[in-house]
Each structure stands twice: as C-alpha cells, then as structure tokens.
C-alpha cells in the first residue's frame, strides 16, 4: 500500500477526504518546507521551527479535535466561495498563506511533522508507518500563492440527537484561494537598427543608433 494518497485539484473544484485523529493538521509546500530540525528536538524546538517556516510561507498549521475527520477541500480563484461561507454564518477558525512553485502541497499531521523533525532520512511522504486513515495527502494544484482559510462546522441537530444523515458529515472546510504568479518579465529585444525601431538601415551599421542616438 502506498504510504500517501494523491489528489488533483483544479480551480473551482472540491473534494472530501478523511484524516485520522491528531493534535493538529498542516498544509505544507512539498518542495520548500525544511522537515528536519535535529535528533534532540523537543516540543518547543518544533513549535519554533514551524513558526519560522510559517513566516517563509511554506506551511500553515491549525489545531483539530482528536477524532476521525471528514475534510472538504475547496480550490477557488476568486472570493465567491468565501462569500458563500460567510453568508451561511460560517466563521474562519484559522488562516494562513502557502506558496508553491511546483504545485505540490501536502496535507499532513503533527505525527509526520514530528517524525521528520527528528529523522533526516524521513520526508513528508515517507517515514514511520502511520495508520491508514492518517497517511499524508499529496495535493497536485496549480502553482502560485494560496490564502488558506479553515472553517469548522458545528454538529447538526441530527448528529446532536444521535441520528444518521444521508450524507457523510463534513467536519471542516479547507478553502484554498489561488493567486497565480505574475507573468515573467521579458527583456527588450535588440532590433536591427539598435534599440530605436525607426532608426533605419543607417543606424543599423553603427552601434546603438549612430548619428540618430541622443
């Protein structure tokens, strides 16, 4: 069995995934996040490391209840999804930013981050064996910068009274607002008449415009 799960998300798509109990979850850029801290790393060392990486836009982490969670991932390129959440009186529980140049984000847990922090041989996708429902999720997404918003959903009346719902309960929505990288700037091309296109053939024989140069 593969040690991680793979999903592809495009703009205006959503997907529901399952993750097992943990103290916190995180969205991490697979390329730029530095997983190893040190063999003697303690809890405070790891928290300081995560704070530095958060400032570098490589990770966003948030606390979660220690239970099996159904998580809805929503990738969007505008504010409409956010507005719909607000209109239904959903409140943002946590937020952050992650930047990815290769378009690979990893949804993982405290257990995997802690494992990688102590063992240089391990990475976000491979390390100490985790329960099947706690395996990391590799998200293939468009490259760019992502504004991450976490919405926790309160239990419905059906759940509170112990009933069953026809649809599986979604415990939280992870909204990924995509900002594409700006197009690369192109250097000006030297024309046959120097950098002045109207200089003509006379200028073409002399460097940088010849007698027509300022």
- Same domain membership, residue 199 and residue 96: no
How many independent structural domains does the chain possess?
Answer: 2
- Same domain membership, residue 199 and residue 114: no
73 CB burial (10 A radius; 0-12, 13-18, 19+): buried
- Same domain membership, residue 150 and residue 46: yes
- Same domain membership, residue 197 and residue 104: no
- Same domain membership, residue 189 and residue 174: no
- Same domain membership, residue 195 and residue 136: no
Task: List the strands of the sheet with 69-76, edge to edge.
Answer: 13-19, 69-76, 172-179, 144-152, 92-100
Determine the 3-state secondary structure of 80 from DSSP.
Answer: helix
CA 137, distance to chain mean position in Å, is 12
- Same domain membership, residue 15 and residue 112: yes
At residue 67's C-alpha, the angle toward residues 66 and 73, to 5°, is 105
- Same domain membership, residue 133 and residue 85: yes
Q: Which residues contact 18 (CB under 8 A, 6 or more apart)?
A: 68, 69, 70, 71, 133
Confidence (pLDDT) at 192: 54
| Residues of the domain holding 89 | 5-179
- Same domain membership, residue 148 and residue 190: no
Q: Write down the pTM of the prediction.
A: 0.79
198 — pLDDT class (breaks 50, 70, 90): very low
93 vs 46: CA distance, rounded Å: 22
- Same domain membership, residue 208 and residue 115: no
Instruction: Evaluate if residue 92 carries a pLDDT over 60.
Output: yes
| CATH code for the domain of 78 | 2.60.34.30
- Same domain membership, residue 69 and residue 167: yes
- Same domain membership, residue 108 and residue 20: yes
Stretch among 30-44, 109-123, 186-200 having the lowest mean pLDDT: 186-200
The string of pLDDT tens digits covering residues 118-172 is: 999 999 998 878 889 999 999 999 999 999 999 998 776 444 444 455 456 899 9
Confidence (pLDDT) at 81: 84
188 — pLDDT class (breaks 50, 70, 90): low
């Amino acid at each position: 069995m593969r040690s991680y799960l793979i999903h592809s998300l495009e703009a205006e798509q959503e997907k529901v995934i399952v993750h097992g109990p943990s103290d916190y979850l995180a969205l991490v850029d697979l390329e730029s996040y530095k997983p190893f801290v040190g063999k003697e790393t303690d809890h405070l060392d790891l928290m300081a490391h995560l704070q530095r990486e958060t400032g570098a836009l490589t990770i966003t982490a948030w606390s979660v209840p220690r239970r099996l969670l159904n998580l809805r991932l929503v990738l969007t390129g505008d504010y409409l999804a956010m507005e719909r959440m607000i209109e239904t009186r959903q409140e943002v529980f946590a937020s952050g930013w992650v930047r990815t140049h290769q378009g690979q984000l990893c949804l993982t847990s405290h257990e995997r981050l802690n494992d990688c922090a102590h063992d240089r041989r391990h990475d976000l996708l491979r390390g100490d064996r985790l329960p099947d429902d706690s395996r990391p999720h590799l998200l293939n997404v468009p490259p760019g910068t992502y504004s991450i918003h976490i919405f926790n959903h309160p239990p419905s009346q059906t759940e509170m009274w112990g009933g069953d719902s026809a649809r599986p309960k979604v415990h939280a929505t992870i909204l990924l607002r995509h900002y594409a990288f700006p197009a690369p700037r192109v250097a000006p091309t030297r024309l046959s008449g120097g950098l002045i296109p109207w200089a003509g053939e006379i200028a073409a024989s002399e460097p940088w415009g010849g007698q027509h140069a300022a």
